[in-house]
Structure 1
Amino acid sequence: MVTQCRMDLVGDVLQSTKTRNKRCCFDHRRRQHQCTQTNTNLAEETTRGKSSNMASSSCKIPPIIPIFVCFLLLVCSVRHVHSSSSADHRQANQTLYPGEESEKLNFIRDGLKKINKPAVKTIQSPEGDLIDCVVSHQQPAFDHPRLKGQKPLDPPERPKGHNPTGTVSENFQLWSISGESCPEGTIPIRRTTEEDVWRASSVRRFGRKVRRHVRRDTSSNGHEHAVGYVTGDQYYGAKASINVWAPRVANQYEFSLSQMWVISGSFGDDLNTIEAGWQVSPELYGDNYPRFFTYWTTDAYQATGCYNLLCSGFVQTNSRIAIGAAISPTSSYSGGQFDISLLIWKDPKHGNWWLEFGPGVLVGYWPSFLFTHLQNHASMVQFGGEVVNSRPSGFHTSTQMGSGHFAGEGFGKASYFRNLQVVDWDNSLIPLSNLRVLADHPNCYDIQGGINRVWGNYFYYGGPGRNVRCP
C-alpha cells in the first residue's frame, strides 16, 4: 500500500500537533510517489474559510480585465481536429493520388528520426509507452543551432523563500512502477510513434498548437476556461501545487488540462508563453491518462514552440522524469487527494527559465534566447483549467474539467490549486496580492478562490460540462 503525504487544515489555523504529521512517507517495496494527500475538516473550512477573502467567478472586476484575459486565453487555446486512429487516416488516404500517401509516410518517418534519438536503454511502461533513455546532450534541444555541441547547464540559484527539505521521490509516473530507471548521463524520453503523428490534426504541425485567427470580441472558439490570474507587475516566475485527476474526455477531438501560464508580449503575434501542468489529450497521446506536460511559444503559436520535447527548445536535465508520461496516482472523489508542485523561475545569472517539480527536483530549462519579451520578465501569470468543447451532436460537451465537479463541492470533490506564489525582481518567492478568478462559462465550469494560513492563495475549480444549466 502506498502511503501519502498528510496535511491537516482546520479553518485558517494549522494546529501545531498536526504539523508533525506533514511528512512524506514512501513504500520502497512498490514505488515512491511524489504526492500530497490532504485531510481537512470540511465543515470547519466551510464556516471559517469563507471569511478569508473568498472570491468567485461572478466577482465584480473592471470590465477590461475579463476582456483582456479572455483574449489571452483565446490565443493560448488549441483547436484539436483529427481522425480517430491511424487506420482512419490510411483509409482516407486511399483516395489520394498515387504516391501521395507514401510521400506523407516518408515525411512522418523523417520527422520521427529527428524526434526519436538513439536510446541507450528502453523501458516498457504499463500503459503502453516506450521510454527511451537518451544521452543528455543528444536530446532534441541540442539540434538547435544555438545549442549544437553544448551540454546541459548546471543547476541555478533557487528563489529566496524556497527551501526544499527531506527526501523526494521523482517516481510519480507509471513507467517507473517496475523500478527500472535510466542510467546516469541520460534522460527518459517518451518515444513518439507513427500512430501518434497520424492522429494529429496536421501532420506538418505535429506537436504544436494549431494556428488560427483570434478575435477580441468573442470566446466562442470551443475553448472554455476557469482560471486565476495576476497582472500589472513584473513577474520572474510562479509556483503552485496542482491537484491531479483523470477527467473524462468525451471524444478524441477534445482535451482537458490544468496548468500554469507564464506570459509576456502584446497578446498579438508576439505573444510569449511558458506552460506546464497535466493534461488528458487523446489526440496527442492516444489514451485518457493524465500526463505531465510542458509547452512554449514566442510568436503566439504560429511557427515556434511545441509540447514537451517534440522540437528543439526545452533542455531536460533530469534522469527520472519523462515529460509527456502518465502520472500516477491520481485523486479520487471523496478519497485520496494527490497534487504535483511546480515552480517556474528565471535564473538571475543566465536568464534561462527553469522548471522544478516538487521540493528540489529540477526537470530542465527553456533557454532565454528562445524568447523575445520573456528574455526580460513576464507581465501576467495564470493558473487553472481549460477544455475543448466541440459540441458533439449539437450539445455542450460532457468533457470534464478538473475532477468533473463544481468548485462549491470543496475539498476531496472539487479540484484545486494551492500555495500560489510568484517570483519577484529580487528572485524571491512571494504570496499573490491581487489574485482574480474568472470562469468564462460558469454554468459548465466554475471557480472559487480564497486564502488561508495553510494553503496560502488557492482556488477550487472545474465542472462536468454538459448539465441541466449547461445544455
Structure 2
Amino acid sequence: MASSSSSSFKSNRTIPILFIFVTFLSTPVLSNPLLSDSSSRNQTLRPRHELQKLKRIRTYLKKINKPAVKTIQSPDGDLIDCVQSHLQPAFDHPMLKGQKPLEPPERPKGHDSMNSTEFQLWAEYSGESCPEGTIPIRRTTEKDVLRANSIRRFGRRIRRGVRRDTMSSDHEHAVAFVNGDQYYGAKASINVWTPRVTDQYEFSLSQLWVISGTFGNDLNTIEAGWQVSPELYGDNYPRFFTYWTTDAYQATGCYNLLCSGFVQINNKIAIGAAISPRSSYHSRQFDIGIMIWKDPKHGHWWLEFGSGLLVGYWPSFLFSHLRSHASMIQFGGEIVNTKSMGYHTSTQMGSGHFADEGFGKASYFRNLQVVDWDNSLIPLNNLHLLADHPNCYDIKAGKNNVWGNYFYYGGPGRNSRCP
C-alpha cells in the first residue's frame, strides 16, 4: 500500500516527529489490507477509530472463543478447540446458564441404525477427536470477523434467505418442499461438492429447512447442510453448517456456534469444519445424512449428522412457532447473486451442472422423509418443486425403490441463457 508522500512535511522539522508517532499508532491497522481505506492519508489521520474497532473485535473473540483443554490443527488452517461441554457458547444464554447438555432422545421410528462415521478434514487428518466431556469448536479469528466488516454482521445472514421472500432478489433457490401439514422433523442424504463461488460476499449451500410462521417478521427456521462461504470461513471448502432464526434473520440466530443457542453434545463433529471427502464429476460420489427432529418428551429440536452421529439440539424456548411444530419442510440449494460485475454471478449451485445431467454429474438429495406427529419417519406426499431462475439453476425430481423420493438440482449460474 502506498505511504503518504514525505515531501509535504520537509519544510517543518516538528512535523516528522508527529508523523512517526501517528504512524506507530496506525501500524496494526496499516498492516492489514482488510482494514485499509483507499487513501493511506485517511488511515494516518484516523488511527483511533481503527484501534477501537480492533479492540471491540478482540473483546468479542475473548467472549466467543472459549478456553480449550486441547487444540487440534487442521490441514485447511483451522484450529479446532476442545472446549468443556458446559462452557460452550450455548450456556451463555440466560435460560441455559448453569445447565448441562441433555441426554440423547429417542430417535424417530423407522430410522436406519448405521455405524457412526465422521467426515471432516480435521479429524481425518489428525486421526483424533476431542476428549470425552468436551466438544470441538472451530476457533474464530480476527480475519474471520474483519471479512464481515462488522461484529454485527459476522456469523449472521443480514438479508433473508428463505424461498418465497420477494425482498430477497439476490438469493436464488432450486428447492423441493412440502407444506399443508404438521411436521416434526425431516431427513435426507445430501451430495457434497465444491462449487465455485466467484465473489467473497456470495455463498453456495445445500441444506434442509424446517420452517414455521409466516414469511414476514415472525419466520422461524432451523437449517443444516453444507456450504461454501468465503466471507464466513475465508476459503472455498464445503463445510458442515447450521443456522437458526426466530424473527426472519433480523436480530436472532446465527451460523454454527457463533451465538448462544444450539447445544452440542458430540466430541467428534466440529460445526463449521470442512467436509472430506467430496464428490467428483463423473467419478466417485459422496453424500452426508442430515436429520432434524423434535423430541416428543422435551420438545427440543435435535440434529444428526453423517451416518448416525447425534450432534446436539436447539432448545424449544429459542422459538415461537417452532415450539409446537413446523408448517413447511424445504430441501435444496441456495446461492447469493450480488451481480458485482454488473451481470448474473457465475457462482455454482451444487456441482455446477444442471439436473438433467443426472448421477455423477449433477448434485442430488435422496431418501427424503419427514417426521410425523407419532415420531415416525414417513415418505413425502405432494412434493413441490421450485427454481427461481431455471436457466441458471434448475431441479428435477424422481422416485424409486432404492433412493425413495429424490431430486437432482443445481447449475452453473451465468451462461448463454442466464446473462
What TM-score, normalized by structure 2, do the two folds share? 0.89
> Who is 1:270 aligned against?
218
> Who is 1:89 aligned against?
35
Which residues in structure 2 correspond to 1:139-218 (within 5 Å)? 139-165=88-114, 167-211=115-159, 218=166
Cα 1:393–1:177 shift into 2, 3 Å: same
One-letter identity of the residue aligned with 2:69: V
> Who is 1:69 aligned against?
none
One-letter identity of the residue aligned with 2:409: Y
SS at match of 1:224: strand
SS at match of 2:289: strand
Structure 1 contact 125–176 (Cα < 8 Å) conserved: no
Residue 99 of structure 1, CA deviation: 1.8
2:368 is the counterpart of 1:424? no
More displaced 10-residue stretch of structure 1: 306-315 or 195-204:
195-204
Structure 1 contact 406–447 (Cα < 8 Å) conserved: yes
Structure 1, residues 25-76: CA drift from partner, whole Å, max 9, x if none?
xxxxxxxxxxxxxxxxxxxxxxxxxxxxxxxxxxxxxxxxxxxxxxxxxxxx
> Who is 1:230 aligned against?
178
SS at match of 2:285: coil
One-letter identity of the residue aligned with 1:120: V
CA distance in 2, matches of 1:429, 1:279: 26
> Who is 1:113 aligned against?
62
Cα 1:150–1:409 shift into 2, 3 Å: same
What TM-score, normalized by structure 1, do the two folds share? 0.79
Structure 2 contact 117–308 (Cα < 8 Å) conserved: no
- Which residue, out of 83, 94, 104, partners 1:134? 83
> Who is 2:317 aligned against?
369
Cα 1:217–1:261 shift into 2, 3 Å: closer
Cα 1:390–1:211 shift into 2, 3 Å: closer
One-letter identity of the residue aligned with 2:130: C
CA distance in 1, matches of 2:105, 2:162: 37
Structure 1 contact 124–175 (Cα < 8 Å) conserved: no
> Who is 1:359 aligned against?
307
- Which residue, out of 379, 382, 397, partners 2:327? 379
Which residues in structure 2 correspond to 1:276-295 (within 5 Å)? 276-295=224-243
Residue 114 of structure 1, CA deviation: 1.2
Cα 1:142–1:217 shift into 2, 3 Å: closer
- Which residue, out of 51, 74, 85, partners 1:125? 74
Structure 2 contact 350–411 (Cα < 8 Å) conserved: yes
One-letter identity of the residue aligned with 2:70: K
Structure 1 contact 279–293 (Cα < 8 Å) conserved: yes
> Who is 1:62 aligned against?
none
SS at match of 1:448: strand
CA distance in 1, matches of 2:153, 2:360: 39
Unaligned runs of 5+ in 1: 1-84
CA distance in 1, matches of 2:179, 2:171: 22
SS at match of 2:178: strand
Structure 1 contact 131–175 (Cα < 8 Å) conserved: no
Structure 1 contact 175–325 (Cα < 8 Å) conserved: no
Structure 1 contact 161–428 (Cα < 8 Å) conserved: yes
CA distance in 1, matches of 2:165, 2:188: 31
Structure 1, residues 67-108: CA drift from partner, whole Å, max 9, x if none?
xxxxxxxxxxxxxxxxxx952224468277442111111111
> Who is 2:27 aligned against?
none
- Which residue, out of 384, 395, 407, partners 1:447? 395
> Who is 2:296 aligned against?
348
Unaligned runs of 5+ in 2: 1-30
Residue 208 of structure 1, CA deviation: 1.1
- Which residue, out of 277, 280, 285, partners 1:329? 277
> Who is 1:58 aligned against?
none
Q: Number of aligned pairs?
A: 386
Residue 253 of structure 1, CA deviation: 1.9
2:63 is the counterpart of 1:100? no
CA distance in 2, matches of 1:220, 1:122: 39
> Who is 1:408 aligned against?
356
CA distance in 1, matches of 2:154, 2:338: 20
CA distance in 1, matches of 2:81, 2:395: 39
Which residues in structure 2 correspond to 1:68-83 (within 5 Å)? none
SS at match of 1:277: strand
- Alignment root-mean-square deviation, CA: 1.9
Residue 205 of structure 1, CA deviation: 2.9
One-letter identity of the residue aligned with 1:403: S
Residue 338 of structure 1, CA deviation: 0.3
Structure 2 contact 205–335 (Cα < 8 Å) conserved: yes
One-letter identity of the residue aligned with 2:137: I
Residue 174 of structure 1, CA deviation: 3.6
CA distance in 1, matches of 2:253, 2:196: 27
Q: Could you say which structure has the larger radius of gyration?
A: 2
Structure 1 contact 171–320 (Cα < 8 Å) conserved: no
